[in-house]
Amino acid sequence: MDDLLHELYRIFNRVREAGVSPDSIRTCMGSREAVRTLARRMPGGVRKGGLGLDVIATEFGLDGETLYHQLLDCPRRSELISNFTREFEAFCGDSDQMGSFFESSWATSQLAACPF
């Protein structure tokens, strides 16, 4: 999971850096709503003059539709923290030890890789 999440964040950062053309999203996904949804998920990531969704997807060995759905499903930092907190509480049951858990676990590397 750790490697998969890092790769997903790498893709997310590439998309934000290059921008995605709204026309390419509309062409690939077939609706204006898809453009609005991705624009809400990635403020500033959908812009005129951006690369085509398929072009970016090809860089990572994906198709445009798969990339679109991965970008929408990419967990945000707050979601990661909530997941780690639940995982910690299930494991230890004591929130006073949470700082040590985050420092000594793989959680730190995932939070560091999270682009938002």
- DSSP 8-state class, residue 49: T
Mean pLDDT computed over 65-81:
82
Domain that holds residue 66: 2-73
Same domain, 43 and 12: yes
| Model confidence at 47: pLDDT above 90 | yes
Same domain, 25 and 56: yes
| Model confidence at 96: pLDDT above 80 | no
CA end-to-end span of the chain, whole Å? 18
Same domain, 40 and 69: yes
- In this predicted structure, what is the pLDDT of residue 112? 56
Same domain, 12 and 38: yes
- Report residue 97's pLDDT band, with 50, 70 and 90 as the boundaries: low
Place of tokens 């639940």: 86
Cβ neighbors of 80 (< 8 A, separation 6 or more) are: 107, 110, 111, 114
- Which of 52, 63, 101 is CA-nearest to residue 81? 101
pLDDT tens by residue, 6-26: 777 788 888 889 999 999 999
Instruction: Give percent of the chain above pLDDT 70.
Output: 72
Q: Tally the domains of the chain.
A: 2
* Average pLDDT of the chain to the nearest whole number: 79
pTM of the shown model:
0.66
